Amino acid sequence: DIQMTQSPSSLSASVGDRVTITCQASQDISNYLNWYQQKPGKAPKLLIYDASNLETGVPSRFSGSGSGTDFTFTISSLQPEDIATYYCQQYDNLRLTFGGGTKVEIK
Amino acid sequence: EVQLVESGGGLVQPGRSLRLSCTASGFTFGDYAMSWVRQAPGKGLEWVGFIRSKAYGGTREYAASVKGRFTISRDDSKSIAYLQMNSLKTEDTAVYYCTRCGGDCYTSSNWGQGTLVTVSS
């Protein structure tokens, strides 16, 4: 199975900061990569699909890029409501795996 | 509005069985694949498996960790997806989420609120 290495596992940033999370796949997954946000005690929510497409209704400060094995998720200007854990998820050969998650906190 | 409501969770002894249900509303259930994803307490997300829509053959795929023990099914007439869990192990303890997805379930566009399954003696 394809392994997803997500980093960092946690970060602390100030409101208005640019935040970047990376996800590396153990083999080429083209653009089959999604990003989810999970707030404490809540279900995950899809933010980005196919590596760079913004889900309907998601604020434009969220973005994704990458293809192949290296992917990046960015929050252009961190807001207090963005406190959450973010997961990447790949799909390849009918198997799905998630990254370990990145917990984002406000400094 | 798409709604997914899981039910059936609870405390169960190791080796026993449990069936979870996911009741859907707000969309044409039969047109979509449905998946299950779980999250052990304090841990990350783990894909369990999915079932395709009838248009895609209604077939299923499972994670290696549950294959042979868990079975996903669906009743399109009732808009319900099921997760039958047999031979439960303590490591199956988790919140189980059902999700709506398309085709081969690459992307989970909607999630239920989850139901907690605790496997313990």
Please write the tens of the pLDDT for every residue from B12-37: 999 999 999 999 999 999 999 999 99
Top residue of B4, B34, B45 to mutate, by most chain A CBs within 10 Å, is B45
CA atoms within 13 A on the CB side of A86: 28
Amino acid at B84: Q
- In chain B, residues 2-61 whose CB comes closer than 8 Å to chain A: 37, 44-47, 61
What is the b/e burial string over B30-41, where b = at least 16 CB atoms within 10 angstroms of the residue's CB? eebbbbbbbbee
pLDDT at B102 over 90: no
The tens digit of pLDDT for each residue in B52-86 reads 999 999 999 999 999 999 999 999 999 999 999 99
Is A94 within 8 Å of B109 when comparing Cβ atoms?
Answer: no
Query: Residue A94's pLDDT is what?
Result: 82
* Strand spans (E) along B26-86: 33-39, 45-51, 60-62, 70-75, 80-85
Cβ contacts of A101 on chain B, cutoff 8 Å: 44-45
What is the b/e burial string over B73-104, where b = at least 16 CB atoms within 10 angstroms of the residue's CB? ebebeebbbbbebeebeeebbbbbbbbbbeee
With contact defined as beta carbons under 8 Å apart, do B52 and B29 qualify? no
The tens digit of pLDDT for each residue in A58-78 reads 999 999 999 999 999 999 999
How close A49 comes to chain B (CA, Å)?
A: 7
Q: How confident is the model at residue A96 (pLDDT cuts 50, 70, 90)?
A: very high
pLDDT at B103 over 90: no
How close A45 comes to chain B (CA, Å)?
A: 7
Find, in chain A, the residue whose alpha carbon is nearest to that of B61.
A94
pLDDT at B104 over 90: no
pLDDT at A92 over 90: no
How close B114 comes to chain A (CA, Å)?
A: 7
Cβ contacts of A88 on chain B, cutoff 8 Å: none
DSSP string, B97-112: EEEEE-TTT--EEEE-
pLDDT at A1 over 90: no
Query: Residue A93's pLDDT is what?
Result: 79
